[in-house]
Amino acid sequence: MTFVGIIFLFVLSYNFTWLFVIAQIILLLFVILVVLDYFILFYRENSLAAQRIMRDRFSNGDENKVQLVIRNRYPFRAAIKVIDELPVQFQKRDFLIESTVNGNSEQTLEFILRPKERGEYVFHNIRVFVKSPLKLIIRRYTIDAEEMVRVLPSYLALRKFELIAYASNLAEAGSKKIRKIGHSLEFEQIKEYVIGDDIRSLNWNATARKGGQLMVNTYTDERSQQVYCIIDKGRVMKMPFEGMTLLDYAINATLILSRVALVKQDKAGLVTFAENIGNVIPADRKAAQMGLILETLYNQQTKFQESSFEKLYALVRTRITQRSLLVLFTNFESMTGLERQLPYIRSIAKNHLLLVVFFENTELRQLTEEKVRDVETLYTKTIAEKFAYEKRLIVKELQQHGIFTILTAPENLTVNTVNKYLELKARQAI
């Protein structure tokens, strides 16, 4: 703008000659200031440095913090613009942070990234544009900061549920308290009777040996029960919701449910399938089980073909011989889709406790809640209500065959699944 003003003065000097000398003086001062500004910014190398600080892995679907540490070695307060070349998966082409940094000091800039798919994310260079207080020249610094991070299933939520599960207070994470009916069958110890103990648990043989001091049996939750998460990777799980596929929601819920099961002293296992059987991790409580499940979930991708429930039934029949809780993550959009797979689902439920988890189409729900404005809106709303009604019919159909069912919105999947597991465990249904 200053240079444009000088040009304007020279143009005016054709009519007002006395302006010509003034324009020359201003131009000379401007050139001197530009040279001075250039010298200030470029008189030495490495006057500014930048560093990116972040975890070596990100949590899929969660907010991950990234820090940029800017070190200003200039003796003056510098105005900066920072461009961090983010991975292509984020598709952020307008990323820019503006700030100022005092002389001979550093400043930390923070921003949040929320990945929506698993995989390897490559961060590239950091570019910093610096201005001196004169603000006539901009110097660009390019910092080589190429770095790769892995985006894993939602392990940040995993830590949250793990800590709460250890504290036996899952209600804080949205889980409901379940009233226990009776006691479990796993004996823990014999202790002296105190007021409030269940008199039905009196151990008369131990009482006799104690010379009349009442003794009672105490019980604890049954442990070492098998909990298998079965993930459908067929085309029905490729449907997106808020940028993430249904498969990613199922993977995040599986990771958390497996950890809660291990905390509760149960055995956690995993099965994935599509047109063929994918990965099979036998249920176990070994120390490396969570790491094995996490790495296996990291590599899962949806397929474009219809899943084979027949092959799933054959696998369950031959590989899972002990009665177990099977949590099947899949999706049905119509009764026709369920009827094709129902014989195999019923066969699996004969020998195991089966929990079928499928997804509510929240976009259809929004359409059903819209006000009718014209014939087109009425038609769209009618079709949406038809599909929503079929979802409810699917739930009733499964329940009629004694199969536990969860119909949930994707964002509530984890909490609802953990709730149901705790409920079934409290009922001693496994």
Q: Is the CB of residue 128 less than 8 Å from the CB of residue 81?
A: yes
- Predicted pLDDT at 352: 93
**Low-confidence residues of the chain, pLDDT below 70?**
1-3, 159-160, 162-188, 219-223, 430
- Report the predicted TM-score, pTM, of the whole model to 2 decimal places: 0.76
- Predicted pLDDT at 49: 93
Residue 414, class by beta-carbon neighbours within 10 Å (0-12 exposed, 13-18 middle, 19+ buried)?
Answer: buried
Q: How far apart are CA 346 and CA 147, in angstroms?
A: 49
Domain locations in the chain as residue ranges: 55-152, 155-179+223-426, 186-220
Enumerate the H helices of 267-374 as residue ranges. Answer: 289-298, 309-319, 335-351, 362-368
Spatial neighbors of 235 by CB under 8 A, at least 6 apart, are: 302, 303, 304, 305, 306
With residues binned 3-state (H G I as helix, E B as strand, rest as coil), the percentages for the chain, rounded to 5, are 40, 30, 30
CA geometry: angle 321, 322, 328, nearest 5 deg: 85
Query: For all residues of the chain together, what is the average pLDDT?
Result: 85
CA geometry: angle 411, 417, 423, nearest 5 deg: 140
237: closest CA among 277, 272, 271? 272
- Predicted pLDDT at 71: 94
In total, the chain counts a number of residues equal to 430
Q: Is the CB of residue 103 less than 8 Å from the CB of residue 74?
A: yes
- Predicted pLDDT at 114: 93
Assigned CATH class of 155-179+223-426: alpha beta
Assigned CATH class of 55-152: mainly beta
- Predicted pLDDT at 419: 87
3-state SS, residue 19:
helix
Q: How far apart are CA 404 and CA 234, in angstroms?
A: 22
